Amino acid sequence: MKKSLRILGITLLSFLIYYVLDERYFYHVREWLYGIIPQLSVAHFIAYVLFGIPLFIGTVLITKPEQSIDSLGLKGSLIQGAGFALLFTLPMFIGYGFLFSFTDEISFDGIFIRTIAAGFFEELYFRAFLFGMIYRFTKFGFLPSIIIGALLFGSVHLYQSQDMGTMIGIFMTTFMGAILFAWMYSEWSFNLWIPVFLHLFMNLSWLLFSVSDNAFGNLWGNVFRYSTVAFAITFTVIYKKRQGKELEITGKTLWMKKVSGM
């Protein structure tokens, strides 16, 4: 348990440093970089990487340097991640295509920042690091490992509305999204590309069609979004059973695990 507490401490401290710096200085640094590199998407990407340095250091402190990429789930199959995630999100793309008009206010920077950068870095920092380091390398189970990250993930999206009802809806939607992405990450053998592309394609379908201006959405937006969620979960469970693989998240791993580590 001593090792688990040490890893928990490193993970939380590293993420706290990242989170405070990101909240206070991210957009200032991005604008400074944008003044040097007149490409907003590039400046946004570099800023994300720079602010992730405390997390990269934390990863090296927790695992061996040569295992860092694998410990963050980046050695998983990118093709598998993209293929299955696209399959899972078909209900959103098809449903939104029929019900909503194609947005005419779209740009490369908008797509890159809200889909590619958001999908990759939010999953890398929140799921692979904050959730993954605790769940994979300590004896803490799924729920203790995800709760802090899910609360923070829900909180960072509250800027999308000032209306209390909508804010609660946004928080609950993104909070549950964090749990879904962490569950998918775990069940697909910690292949980070699964939640990365699932996050990316879900955001992309929301962005390409005029569904809603915030994460809470509306009735039909949520009907197809939760159809995607149900499809992804059902497919994952059936696929693993047919492959003869046990589910990662069970009653035995929900609160505490007997063993930890890769």
Q: Give the residue among 43, 42, 56 at the shortest CA–CA distance from 11.
A: 56
Q: How far apart are CA 39 and CA 261, in angstroms?
A: 41
3-class DSSP state for residue 196?
helix
Q: Does residue 3 sit within a domain?
A: no
Average pLDDT, stretch 188-204? Answer: 97
Query: CB–CB of 119/203 below 8 Å?
Result: yes
Q: How far apart are CA 258 and CA 213, in angstroms?
A: 44
4 pLDDT band, cuts 50/70/90, is: very high
Q: How many domains does the chain have?
A: 1
**pLDDT higher at 104 or 159:** 104
Instruction: Note the pLDDT of residue 118.
Output: 96
Q: Does residue 151 sit within a domain?
A: yes
Q: Bridge partners of 102?
A: 209
For the stretch 91-146, pLDDT in tens is 999 999 999 999 877 899 999 999 999 999 999 999 999 999 999 999 999 999 99
Q: Does residue 51 sit within a domain?
A: no
Q: Does residue 13 sit within a domain?
A: no
Q: Does residue 247 sit within a domain?
A: no
For the stretch 7-25, pLDDT in tens is 999 999 999 999 999 999 9
193 pLDDT band, cuts 50/70/90, is: very high
Q: Give the residue among 40, 194, 221 at the shortest CA–CA distance from 128.
A: 194
- Domain containing 129 equals 75-242
pTM: 0.94
In this model, does residue 177 exceed pLDDT 70? yes
Q: Does residue 45 sit within a domain?
A: no
Q: Does residue 104 sit within a domain?
A: yes
Q: Does residue 69 sit within a domain?
A: no
Buried b (16+ CB within 10 A) or exposed e, 94-124: ebbeeebeeeeeeeeeebbbbbbbbbbbbbb
